[in-house]
């Protein structure tokens, strides 16, 4: 892939003393950011989402300089799901609809919402108060909300951290399947080499705020 095909391209990007990336290309598909806590993975996601801006350097999205992109419009297309996803007072239905209210779009009908709850393995009724949900159930609800909003790029920060191993694998598999079926891209933060080797097209390894390596999935070995 050439630079012109890049989903994101970073040149000389620094953020305070947290991140220092001389050059990085993130291609369409499924990219995993791998590294220990404190390696700069979440900061990189926030830069791609334009919720923060680099101290130095430039970031391009689909060939356009992010400095010139309207922030709100960009974040609708490049949607970030934080590890502690926001929940709003009210019901499950309220929480699925609220993203559409923020974007001034019509919310999906109840049948569409119910089908999405089935997809993310959340066995609850739309009228259930979110206060009754466990951490893992809230995480699945947040994923359902992101799926319904259907952005061009999913930025996912440890999307299965509150789930047990079996459920986590199933949910991440669903995320990847959904994105590939709809021609969307994923940039996903994790510390799990198993997740990277199973689901990623490409893996970028960060350590102490610096990029250690970028590799295709088939190149990911036990020593990385």
pLDDT digits (tens, 9 = 90+) for 72-84: 999 999 999 988 8
Residue ranges per domain, the chain? 3-216
Q: How, if at all, do strands 8-15 and 19-26 pair?
A: antiparallel
CATH of segment(s) 3-216: 3.40.50.300
3-state secondary structure of 168: helix
Mean pLDDT of 210-218: 81
pLDDT digits (tens, 9 = 90+) for 125-168: 999 999 999 988 998 999 999 999 999 999 999 887 777 777 77
Mean pLDDT of 205-223: 75
Contacts of residue 208, defined as CB under 8 A and 6 or more positions apart, other chains included, come to 38, 39, 40
H/E stretch holding 63 reads none
Q: What is the pLDDT of residue 4?
A: 56
């Amino acid at each position: 892939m050439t630079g012109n095909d890049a989903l994101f391209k970073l040149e000389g990007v620094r953020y305070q003393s947290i991140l220092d990336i001389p050059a990085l290309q993130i291609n369409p598909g499924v990219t995993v950011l791998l590294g220990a806590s404190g390696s700069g993975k979440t900061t990189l996601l926030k830069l791609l989402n334009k919720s923060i801006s680099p101290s130095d350097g430039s970031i391009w999205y689909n060939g356009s300089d992010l400095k010139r992109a309207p922030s709100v419009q960009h974040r609708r297309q490049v949607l970030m799901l934080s590890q502690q996803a926001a929940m709003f007072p009210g019901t499950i239905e309220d929480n699925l609809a609220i993203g559409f209210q923020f974007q001034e779009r019509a919310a999906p009908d109840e049948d569409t919402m119910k089908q999405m709850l089935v997809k993310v393995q959340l066995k609850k009724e739309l009228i259930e108060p979110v206060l009754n949900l466990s951490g893992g159930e809230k995480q699945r609800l947040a994923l359902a909300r992101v799926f319904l909003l259907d952005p061009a790029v999913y930025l996912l920060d440890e999307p299965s951290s509150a789930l047990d191993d079996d459920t986590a694998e199933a949910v991440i598999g669903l995320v990847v399947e959904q994105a590939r079926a709809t021609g969307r891209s994923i940039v996903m933060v994790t510390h799990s080499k198993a997740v990277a080797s199973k689901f990623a097209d490409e893996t970028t390894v960060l350590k102490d705020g610096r990029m250690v390596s970028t590799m295709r999935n088939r190149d990911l070995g036990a020593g990385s």
